[in-house]
Amino acid sequence: MSFENFPAGTDPEQKPVPQKNNYRTILTGGLLVALLGTWGYIIWDKNKTNQKTHELTTQIITSDSSKNELQSEFNDATMRLDMLKTTNARADSLIKTKDKDIEDLKVKIQNILNNKNATAAQLADARSMIAQLKSNIDTYTAEIEKLQGEKVKLTEEKRVVTEERDVVTKNFDSAKTVIKGKEDVIDVGSTLQAFNFNIVGLHDRGNKEKETSTAKRVDKLRITFDLENRIAPSGSKDIFVCITAPDGTPIAVEALGSGKFVTRDGVEKLFTKKVQINYNQGEKQSVTVEWKQNSDFQTGNYKIEVYHNGFKIGEGIRNFKKGGLFG
């Protein structure tokens, strides 16, 4: 058996490790750490970017939601305003006095809502202006309701006054009817009566007149009659004398003062001559009427009718005959 001597503490079986392997291990570990750090940074940065994107998306969604909400409120306020103007004339008149201020406010609000990049501060301004617009609308509504209440009150007062007026008018009309009835009775009762008729034909002999019953010798008619009525008031009275020729023709010559009047029956009638007398109440008064015409008088009966107050108050007849050999 043979023995060899080795240094103490040395394993005769162990081989020395090369230092190059140690360096590679360290380098690999370093690279691995760097790689892990890089991936960690990339993941962290991506998470941060995603977070910012999410926050931005949330802000955009929130902004759009706020704008939509404000647009809806603005549309509702505008609709209420338009309804006030179209359904109430007084409201339209009231709103027109503030029209420019309202339109300026609406334009400012809509400009903000139309801005895609509107900031939160601008949206807050829009919200404040919409609140102001709503407040104005509420004020107008309150004033309109007040006006309508006053209108209802005035309408009721007008109704009461109208009813009272109608009652007074009805009573007044009734009183007028009664008074008119009494006046008609008095008017009819105060109509003069004509009597004691005397109708003659007169022949003009220069400075002397002679009665004649021969038609061809008559130059004019003289009609006399008496008038009387005990209740007829004193004053001027219009007396219409109507002469009818023997052939039934009314004698009326406009140039000699003839004309027309209406009887109490509503019939228009020709009159030959109108006489105005000054009557004294309760007294009998004689009247003389003369009629001279340009044409010859006819043979036969002349009818003379006298009218007062639309009534025929008397009549008389005069006959003229045909003349003999010597007229």
pLDDT by residue, tens only, the chain of 327 residues: 444 554 555 555 555 555 556 777 777 777 777 777 777 777 776 777 666 655 555 555 555 677 777 788 878 877 877 776 666 655 555 566 666 777 788 788 888 888 878 788 888 888 888 888 788 777 777 777 777 777 778 888 888 888 888 888 888 777 777 666 656 666 677 899 999 999 999 998 878 899 999 999 999 999 999 999 988 899 999 999 999 999 999 999 999 999 999 999 999 999 999 999 999 998 999 999 999 988 889 999 999 999 999 999 999 999 999 876 554
Q: CA 78, CA 76: separation in Å to the nearest integer? A: 5
Judging by beta carbons within 10 Å of its beta carbon (0-12, 13-18, 19+), is residue 93 exposed, middle or buried? exposed
Q: In the chain, what are the domain boundaries?
A: 21-189, 193-320
Contact call for residues 214 and 320 (beta carbons, < 8 A): yes
Q: With 0-12 CB in 10 A as exposed, 13-18 as middle and 19+ as buried, what is 203?
A: middle
Using CA atoms, how far residue 60 sits from 41, 68, 87, 130, in Å, is 28, 12, 40, 22
Contacts of 194 (CB under 8 A, 6+ apart): 225, 226, 227, 287, 306, 308, 313, 314
Architecture of the domain defined by 193-320:
Sandwich (2.60)
* The overall pTM is greater than 0.75: no
Tell me which DSSP letter residue 15 carries: P
